[in-house]
Amino acid sequence: MRSIFKTSAAALAAATMLSGAAYADGHGVSGPLRIFSDMSNPAPRAVMEGMVARFTEANPGVEVELVITDREAWKTQIRNVLQSGTADIVNWYAGNRMGPYVEAGLFMEVSELWETGGLTETLASTLGAMTMDDGIWGVPYTYYQWGVYYREDIFAELGLEAPATWEQELANCEVIVASGRACYTIGTQFLWTAGGWFDYLNMRTNGYDFHMSLTAGEVEWTDPRVRATFDNWATLVNMGGFIADHQSYSWQEALPFMVNGEAAAYLMGNFAVAPLREAGLTDDQLGFYQFPQIDPAIEPGEDAPTDTFHIAANAENVEAAEAFLLFVASAENQTLINNGDNLGQLPVNAGSAVDDDEFLNAGFEMLSNNAGGGIAQFFDRDAPAEMAQVAMQGFQQFMVDPSTLDQVLEILEGARQRIY
Amino acid sequence: MTRVTTETPQRRRKMSQQAIAPWLFLLPASLFFATYVLYPIIQSFYISLFEWNGLYSLQYRGVEGTGFTDLQCLELGNRAGREDGCELTGDTLWNADYVGMENYRTLYTDPFFWTSLKNNVKWLLLYLLAIPAGLFIALFLNQKIAGMRLYKSLFFFPFVLSQVVVGLVFSWFFLPGADDGLLNVLLGKFGIGPFNILGHNSTATYGIIAAGLWPQTAYCMILYLTGLNAVDPEQIEAARLDGAKGPKMLWYVVLPQLWPATFIAIVVTVIGALRSFDLITIMTNGGPGFYNTSVLAFYMYDVALSEFGFRMGYGSAIAVILFLIMMVYIAGFLWKMWRDEKV
């Protein structure tokens, strides 16, 4: 390790001056606090701005400087922001997606804050997802369930019930296909939607623990158990279960198929509910069920991606940043920001209340009582970035042409041996 | 004697002024060229010898009186920020492992690299179609009719659009549903299709190249239109008196005079083909499947800088290969300029 490229030393001078100022006001925090957020969609933006307003009201000494970046662009910009030392607090995701920044020492370790703030109890459900390298690196502010959103009216018309087992699922799908519809809509142009399907099929076929070993690189992709997962997937693909040409659509472009009734269901995160409602589907038409069981001996694992706040390791105002993290994690704040008028998602804090919404209730119930296997983040957050990229390309390739499975698995296995 | 002594220093000063002036005028451009072109090129070569995820770590030093040494802070790694005995130096550490030519060896066995290179060749060859197409339109538009300026600007219009807009327009044009995309609607009228051009490995690259040809043809057209203004009317007249017309007139009289325009058109088209990145990102995002429509520029971005790209050394190795390929054309271009100036 050698220092070759240098950044300005001015940051240091500023840091020493500021930490002096922060102590000026006994236990209260003060000084400038620079927050870089990726909550750029209209509702999340309002939530972020609301949180800053309430935080500054409670801590009048703090002047928050809020920069909101486009959510997609942030996925690459975070590298520059963390390294240039322009932020105290940043948004990111739980799970392996934290990996590069934790390893490079760009996130600040916050285990002590979790202990002193009582977060180890209130946020216990995500402790595992926030832990890496024996440390805790941030706090979660929201998460959401994944599952099957379906057209209740189409199911009723065809005389179908929401399936609980794989046999029922396939039987349902046969009826739906025979009625001239696809069972599922999906848009795989940006790949990750196929990752959701793989997560569920693999967790149901082989279990949560196996899925985690696979994403951790401990199992070969050519393993017969992985093949079993793909065989189940191929059954659905070959019977015409998915809409045609899905490789040309984004997840939003796949929504109209469900709205128009050309497809009966969508495996998606809870964020799909808002656009489906906006497109005119009523709660009578729209239903939710947990992804059906495949092997009855296996406890169901679920995907529930968690979004987070972190302190930058080169933060200039650590005291205020910690106060902000505690504020974000509080039960009161999480109840408010996750309600139907705001994010419309699930609060992480065990003391928060879930807003009275059909889908939020269903999701909360499912994650609390029916996810005995464990809670995964999502394929591209559980697997390392490079593996996620190549594997999701493979999933798309496989969905377009299941006969290429052998080639796909060989490429993924080659990538696994190189990456881990 | 006196004349000699007074004259010599004056002449010398004049000569040195003349010798220095061109260098002074070149200096600003050379500085910028060195900073923004040469240095990054050398840096890419250098980084391509390392395995690096693109991130710098923060550097800490031990605070005097706390008993912590710089080395201890370094060993604390990502916990140093939590230790009072360690403070930021404001510098960063470059965590890269020297791997020598390993990145290039990996490239050689990487199927996606070869897919991308093959697509680059397809782009290079098919993109050249923009030149005859541009020439054809230019010849067609080189008439004196009322409103010709309007027609010319309409034909030039696609070149003014951003590549991102062109990509979006074409991806809508190619939409797969029988009554979604304009292409499939048109084909449907003849009872053909529908086709999902961008959704299949065998056709997707050609679909994107077709989109790229639209603005590129307009560019070549403009080059030829200006070239046609410079064609000598007397030579045309003389050729006409000798009985030349149609294709013969074009081939033997007009085209040779258009050679400078053709040369520039070839250069910009080849470089445009090698840079084809935005259209691919917008239209297929490199897919379907494993990098089936990727080209070297896209592959480089994807492995080094994209959402999931953390292989800076490997990306640099791709950049170096792309640079060497471009170098062939640039060298040829420079050689021709040098030869022309010598005549």
Q: Is residue A2 part of a domain?
A: no
- Whether B72 and chain A come into contact, CB under 8 Å, resolves to no
- Per cent of chain B over pLDDT 90 is 41
- Is the distance from CB of A292 to CB of A268 less than 8 angstroms? no
Shared domain for A159 and A108, answered yes or no, is no
What does each C-alpha distance from A169 to A32, A181, A290 come to in angstroms? 55, 15, 12
- State the average pLDDT over residues B176-203: 86
Shared domain for A34 and A88, answered yes or no, is yes
Shared domain for A294 and A194, answered yes or no, is yes
Alpha-carbon torsion angle A262, A197, B289, A71, nearest 10:
90
- Whether A403 and chain B come into contact, CB under 8 Å, resolves to no
Q: Which residues of A298-333 are buried (b: 16+ CB within 10 A; e: fewer)?
A: bebbbbbbbbbbbbbbbbbbbbbbbbbbbbbbbbeb
Shared domain for A54 and A132, answered yes or no, is yes
Shared domain for A103 and A184, answered yes or no, is no
Shared domain for A264 and A291, answered yes or no, is yes
- The distance of A397 to chain B (nearest Cα, Å) reads 4
Q: Predicted confidence band at B212 (pLDDT cuts at 50, 70, 90)?
A: very high
Check pLDDT > 90 for residue B224.
yes
In whole angstroms, give the CA distance from residue A224 to residue A166: 19
Q: Is residue A278 part of a domain?
A: yes
**CA A199 from centre of chain:** 12
- State the average pLDDT over residues B101-129: 93
Q: Predicted confidence band at B142 (pLDDT cuts at 50, 70, 90)?
A: confident
- What is the domain range of residue A384? 146-303+365-419
Which of 292-321 (A) contact B at CB < 8 A?
313-314
- Is the distance from CB of A114 to CB of A349 less than 8 angstroms? no
Q: What is the average pLDDT value for chain B, to the nearest integer?
A: 88
Which chain B residues are Cβ-neighbours of A15 within 8 angstroms?
88
- State the average pLDDT over residues B230-254: 86
Burial of B7 (0-12, 13-18, 19+ CB in 10 A): exposed
Beta strands (DSSP E) in A344-416 are 374-376
Beta strands (DSSP E) in A168-223 are 182-185
Shared domain for A153 and A273, answered yes or no, is yes
In whole angstroms, give the CA distance from residue A185 to residue A384: 27
Amino acid present at A303: D
Name the DSSP class of A2: B
Residue A414: CA atoms inside 13 Å, Cβ hemisphere, count? 13
CATH of residue A259:
3.40.190.10
Helix (H) or strand (E) holding A251: none
Look at residues A232, A381, A391, A216 and name the one whose alpha carbon lies nearest to residue A298. A232
Shared domain for A25 and A92, answered yes or no, is yes
- Is the distance from CB of B314 to CB of B304 less than 8 angstroms? yes
**CA B185 from centre of chain:** 34
Shared domain for A154 and A231, answered yes or no, is yes
Which chain A residues are Cβ-neighbours of B287 within 8 angstroms?
189, 191, 247, 393, 396
Quickly count: other Cβ atoms within 10 Å of residue A388's Cβ: 24
Identify the segments of chain A with pLDDT beneath 70.
1-27
Give helix then strand counts, H and E, for chain A. 20, 13
- Per cent of chain B over pLDDT 70 is 95
Shared domain for A298 and A309, answered yes or no, is no
Domains in chain B, ordered, with CATH?
56-96 (no CATH), 102-342 (1.10.3720.10)
pLDDT of residue B12: 64
In whole angstroms, give the CA distance from residue B198 to residue B215: 19
Strands A89-93 and A306-311: antiparallel
What does each C-alpha distance from A71 to A28, A56, A66, A230, A419 come to in angstroms? 32, 24, 15, 32, 27
- φ, ψ dihedrals at A27, nearest 5°: -90, -25
- For residue A185, what are the β-bridge partners? A266
Burial of A264 (0-12, 13-18, 19+ CB in 10 A): buried
Q: Is residue A122 part of a domain?
A: yes
In whole angstroms, give the CA distance from residue A343 to residue A106: 28
Q: Is residue A357 part of a domain?
A: no
Total count of domains within chain A: 2
- Is the distance from CB of A228 to CB of A322 less than 8 angstroms? no
Question: Looking at the partner chain, which of B59, B199, B285 has a beta carbon nearest the beta carbon of A190?
Answer: B285
Put residue B271 in one of left, alpha, beta given phi > 0 → left and psi -120 to 50 → alpha.
alpha
In whole angstroms, give the CA distance from residue A121 to residue A112: 13
In whole angstroms, give the CA distance from residue B46 to residue B19: 36
Name the DSSP class of A262: S
With a CB cutoff of 8 Å and minimum separation 6, the contacts of A385 are A96, A97, A99, A100, B307, B308, B309, B310
Q: Are A380 and B308 an interchain contact pair (Cβ–Cβ within 8 Å)?
A: yes
Q: Is residue A172 part of a domain?
A: yes
- φ, ψ dihedrals at B202, nearest 5°: -75, -25
In whole angstroms, give the CA distance from residue A411 to residue B51: 21
In the three-class reduction of DSSP (H, G, I as helix; E, B as strand; rest coil), residue A149 is classed as strand
The more confidently predicted of residues B123 and B58 is B123
Shared domain for A299 and A155, answered yes or no, is yes
- The distance of B328 to chain A (nearest Cα, Å) reads 31
Helix (H) or strand (E) holding A297: none
- Going across the sheet that includes A182-185, the strands are A182-185, A263-269, A146-151, A286-289
pLDDT of residue A374: 87
pLDDT of residue B8: 54
Q: Are B287 and A109 an interchain contact pair (Cβ–Cβ within 8 Å)?
A: no
Check pLDDT > 80 for residue B190.
yes
pLDDT of residue A8: 39
Look at residues A30, A23, A15 and name the one whose alpha carbon lies nearest to residue A62. A30
Q: Are A100 and B310 an interchain contact pair (Cβ–Cβ within 8 Å)?
A: yes
- Whether B195 and chain A come into contact, CB under 8 Å, resolves to no
Shared domain for A264 and A400, answered yes or no, is yes
User: Helix axis angle, B255-275 relative to B204-229, nearest 10°?
Assistant: 150
- For residue A309, what are the β-bridge partners? A91, A139
- The distance of B309 to chain A (nearest Cα, Å) reads 7
Which chain B residues are Cβ-neighbours of A116 within 8 angstroms?
none
**Nearest residue in chain B measured CA to CA from A1:** B95
- φ, ψ dihedrals at B59, nearest 5°: -100, 135
Burial of B143 (0-12, 13-18, 19+ CB in 10 A): exposed
- Is the distance from CB of A217 to CB of A416 less than 8 angstroms? yes
Burial of B179 (0-12, 13-18, 19+ CB in 10 A): exposed
- φ, ψ dihedrals at A62, nearest 5°: -95, 130
Q: Which two tokens stand for residue A43?
A: 């509702």
Q: Are A102 and B93 an interchain contact pair (Cβ–Cβ within 8 Å)?
A: no
pLDDT of residue A171: 94
What are the tens digits of pLDDT across the range A213-233?
Answer: 999 999 999 999 999 999 999
- State the average pLDDT over residues B45-74: 87
- φ, ψ dihedrals at B231, nearest 5°: -70, 135
What does each C-alpha distance from A339 to A94, A136, A269, A309, A357 come to in angstroms? 21, 27, 16, 19, 9
Q: How many CB pairs under 8 A join A and B?
A: 143
- State the average pLDDT over residues B31-59: 93
- The distance of A358 to chain B (nearest Cα, Å) reads 34
pLDDT of residue A172: 94
Q: Is residue A3 part of a domain?
A: no
What pTM value is reported for the model? Answer: 0.86
Put residue B117 in one of left, alpha, beta given phi > 0 → left and psi -120 to 50 → alpha.
alpha
Q: Is residue A4 part of a domain?
A: no
Check pLDDT > 50 for residue B232.
yes
What are the tens digits of pLDDT across the range B313-341?
Answer: 999 999 999 999 888 888 888 888 888 88
Q: Is residue A5 part of a domain?
A: no
Check pLDDT > 90 for residue B342.
no
